[in-house]
A and B are shown apart, each in its own frame.
Chain A
Amino acid sequence: RKEVEQDPGPFNVPEGATVAFNCTYSNSASQSFFWYRQDCRKEPKLLMSVYSSGNEDGRFTAQLNRASQYISLLIRDSKLSDSATYLCAVMDSSYKLIFGSGTRLLVRP
């Protein structure tokens, strides 16, 4: 079983749609959780950290469920510019940072 798993997609949605991604992790001792965005042939850029209480940044909401060992990302009112690959990342107590394989999002006009 992979340490961090994501549905590869692609998710093909119209502008204005709400889309949700999930990511599961296998190490129950994981401490820190993140969502990154990666555009084609570019480096990943941090979208948001994920806190136990959940957190929101504009149209983006991230949540953590430690009991079920998954994190989620919700994007509301999708824009064309949201088209990208979304990577979840999980860090353990030794600072080992593992990424999922990414979920591709295509937002169409």
Chain B
Amino acid sequence: DGGITQSPKYLFRKEGQNVTLSCEQNLNHDAMYWYRQDPGQGLRLIYYSQIVNDFQKGDIAEGYSVSREKKESFPLTVTSAQKNPTAFYLCASSIQDTEAFFGQGTRLTVV
């Protein structure tokens, strides 16, 4: 089946630890995105990538890092520098300037 897969669905992290969230798509989409959503809030853009080996910071990139070594994959690392990482993380992809489609999200909780 074609789609966007995020894993894991739920993730628990101890304070001070880095953690990497996976996002894979087999839709042959060029652009990929990472968003953070806090309860009752909208989606805030963390990073986005238009093509392989290139990515840009979004509005809240501090404390996060990404890579885009393959077209299909856009992993997000939440570093220890992110002071309040507990949130719902959503990955999306699109064909250039067309609509974006989302994975099911990863709920990260710091314990």
Contact = CB atoms under 8 A, between A and B. Distances in A.
B102 A97 contact: no
B43 A49 contact: no
B45 interface: yes
B41 interface: yes
Interface residues of A, number: 24
Interface stretch (A40-48, A55-63, A65-73): A40-48
Contact of A45 (B41, B50, B56, B102): B102
Given A94-B50, A96-B58, A98-B45, A46 B101 contact: yes
B103 interface: yes
Interface residues of B, number: 27
A97 B56 contact: no
Interface of B: 31, 33, 35, 41-45, 48, 50, 56, 58-59, 88, 90, 92, 94, 96-105
Interface of A: 6, 31-32, 34, 41-46, 49, 87, 89, 91, 93-102
8 contacts: A32-B97, A44-B43, A91-B97, A95-B94, A96-B45, A96-B48, A97-B100, A98-B45
